[in-house]
A = this chain, B = another copy of it.
Amino acid sequence: MPVTDEAEAHEPDLTWLEEDRLHEECGVFGIFNHPDAAALTALGLHALQHRGQEAAGIVSFDGEHFHTERRLGLVGDHFTSRPVIDRLGGDMAVGHVRYSTCGDAVMRNVQPLFVDLESGGFSLCHNGNLTNALTLRESLIKKGAICQSTTDTEVILHLVARSEKRLFVEKYIEALLQVEAAMPWWAPTRNSSARDPYGIRPLVLGRLGEAWVLASETCALDIIGAEFVREVENGEVVVATRDGLESHRFVPKYPARLCIFEYIYFARPDSIIGGRSVYDVRKEMGRQLAREAPANGDMVVPIPDSGVPAAIGYAQESGLPFEFGIIRNHYVGRTFIEPEQRIRQLGVKLKHSANELQVKGKSIVLIDDSVVRGTTSVKIVQMMREAGAKEVHMRISSPPITHPDFYGIDTPDQDKLLAAHRTLEEMRAFIGADSLAFISVDGIYKAMGYESRDDDHPQFTDHCFTGEYPTRLRDREGPPQQKQLSFLAEVG
């Protein structure tokens, strides 16, 4: 058993095991032409809170001045007070929630960023990572650019600022084209928005009366009662104006490749992406998993909350009863005091507890949506056994994660991934379950309505399972990266 009771006995404080989770990237929301722009942006960000809990920011524009409010913490903690909303005047606003995929959790990195251009102010926020950000940053600094943050986003700002094109949309596209092999999208208050050439991150367009709305997911349209219009296309720039919507393409049109983790884990279950209900897809993954890897058990138990829809599907397909054998404490995950140690290490025991009388003496089929390092699985299997479970069969509704992500998902180094270098039996032994199974790669494509993965033109971005990255990884090339991002030590 890799984690012993003794170890815990000596550490009755708050630092157990790291949480074994791919971390959400970011969420973006923008609205143009509405008198309550900032208040609606706060609501939209609240609906997108699951995409990032470390910081939130809103920038608004009143036709003359930009107003900015950025905070560490949750949207609901800071953007619900009248004075804050009142300071954010104007009828267009853009907001951002973030999990620190890049750059430390300090104020100078909180988005949206703002910059004075010659032709006026410009505010930008961005979801995802650039794979050539370091390369571009070095090149910019060589040319005398002064970088104030360590985010990828600032790199785009500089590219826009330095463009010698005349129109803003041209500057914008020129910047997009330099962001080599990029998958970001963003939403400046300059009422423009773009989605990367592959459409890796989602972006939807909505309408609320006369106003245009842009958001990461449809749930952010729902909360304010906005109507879904369409998704922004991969490689498209949309510009909202008082006369309507302009659309520009900056790369030729080819099929999008959405990050499959949006379906598996990131998006909210009530969001609709690519015409599919995220909840339905997850349930269908559970059904497919039940077909591929049935288990002999007394009940199906989800690891809440993310394993719930797949567990319902598994239960429905297998005919086993669905029970909450594990209870989740929802008051977790907001301790910013010591980010490195706390946010990531406040772990399983604080978050999950066994529903002991349910579990005792039973053979249970545990459903989770993914396994990263396996550390949470170890703890949960152990917790089930301590609660008296007779057998524990683990079923995972995504394939083994064998490769890290470089497009905005916070993944550990490859050698920390449970599935990177282990056989299924080694993984089972590590986790301590009586049996272990993953859905197949083709299985998830089936759950999405395809026959199988199209290996020539894959329908989704799925390198975490397949190792096939859609873009060149410029910053990872050449000698190993020892680059110092900034000479400034962060001191809070």
Interface residues of A (CB under 8 A from B): 8, 12-14, 34, 36, 39-40, 42-43, 46-47, 49-50, 53, 64-69, 74-77, 80-82, 85, 87, 114-118, 120-121, 138, 141-148, 154, 157-158, 161-163, 219, 222-225, 268-270, 272, 277, 279-280, 305, 308-309, 312, 316, 321-324, 327, 329-335, 337-338, 342, 346, 349-350, 353-358, 486-489, 491
- Output the least CB separation between A16 and chain B (Å): 10
Residues on the B chain within 8 Å of A335, using CB = 76-77, 80-81
User: A488 contacts B277, CB within 8 Å?
Assistant: no
Closest chain B residue to A65 by CB distance?
B489
Chain B residue nearest to A142 in the complex (CB): B118
- Is B272 in contact with A356, judged by CB distance below 8 angstroms? yes
Contact B353 A65 (CB under 8 A): no
Number of copies of chain A assembled together: 4
A32 to chain B, nearest CB (A): 15
Contacts of A277 in B (CB 8 A): 355-358
CB distance from A136 to the nearest CB of B (A): 14
List 8 contacting pairs A-B, 8 Å CB cutoff, sorted by A.
A14-B85, A46-B329, A76-B334, A77-B335, A81-B342, A121-B488, A222-B356, A272-B357
B331 adjacent to A270 (CB under 8 Å): no
Partner of A146, one of B34, B81, B115, B309: B115
Q: Which residues of B contact A138 (CB under 8 A)?
A: 118
Interchain CB contact under 8 A, A76 and B488 = no
Consensus secondary structure, chain A interface: mixed
Bound CA span A81–B13, Å: 10
Known: A50-B331, A66-B488. 14 other contacts (CB 8 A): A8-B225, A13-B39, A43-B350, A64-B487, A75-B331, A77-B335, A80-B335, A116-B488, A120-B487, A144-B162, A270-B353, A279-B324, A279-B327, A279-B358
- Give the chain B neighbours of A488 by CB distance below 8 A: 65-68, 114, 116, 121
**Complex contacts, A64 vs chain B, CB 8 Å:** 487
Out of B43, B67, B76, B142, which one reaches A489, CB within 8 Å? Answer: B67
Q: Is A80 in contact with B342, judged by CB distance below 8 angstroms?
A: yes
Task: State the CA gap A208–B77 with chains docked (Å).
Answer: 36
CA distance A197 to B161 in the complex (A): 33
Shortest Cβ-Cβ A-B pairs, 4 listed: A121-B487, A144-B162, A277-B357, A65-B489
Assess the B144–A116 pair: CB atoms within 8 A: no
Least distance between A222 CB and chain B CB atoms (Å): 6
Contacts A13-B36, A330-B330, A357-B272 given; does A223 touch B144 at CB 8 Å: no
A380 to chain B, nearest CB (A): 14
Q: Are A269 and B324 in contact (CB under 8 A)?
A: yes
Q: In the complex the two chains form, what is the Cα distance from A354 to B144 in whole Å?
A: 47
The residue in chain B whose Cβ has the minimal distance to the Cβ of A349 is: B223
Minimum C-beta distance from A46 to chain B (A): 6
Contacts of A77 in B (CB 8 A): 334-335
Contact for A157 among B34, B68, B121, B146, CB less than 8 A:
B146
Which B residues are CB-close (under 8 A) to A68? 488, 491
**Partner pick for A356 among B270, B309, B355, CB 8 A cutoff:** B270
**A74 & B309 in contact (Cβ 8 Å cutoff):** no
| Chain B contacts for A354, CB-based, 8 A | 222, 270
A486, B116: Cβ atoms closer than 8 Å = yes
Bound Cα distance A374, B142 (Å): 52
* Minimal beta-carbon separation of A114 from chain B (angstroms): 6
Give which listed residue, B8, B279, B350, contacts A46 with CB less than 8 A.
B350
Nearest residue (CB) in B for A36 is B12
Q: Are A269 and B355 CB-contacts (below 8 A) given A141-B118, A146-B145, A324-B279?
A: yes
Which chain B residues lie closer than 8 Å to A219 at the CB level? 327, 353
Give the residue of B43, B82, B322, B346 whose beta carbon is less than 8 angstroms from that of A322: B322
With A80-B342, A357-B280 in contact, is A316–B308 under 8 Å at CB?
no
Question: What is the CA–CA distance of A13 and B46 in the complex, to the nearest angstrom?
Answer: 12
Q: Is the CB of B14 within 8 A of A39?
A: yes
> Which of A64, A74, A487, A491 has the largest count of B CB atoms less than 10 A from its CB?
A487
Nearest-Cβ distance from residue A433 to partner chain B, whole angstroms: 21
Q: Nearest-CB distance from A423 to chain B (Å)?
A: 33
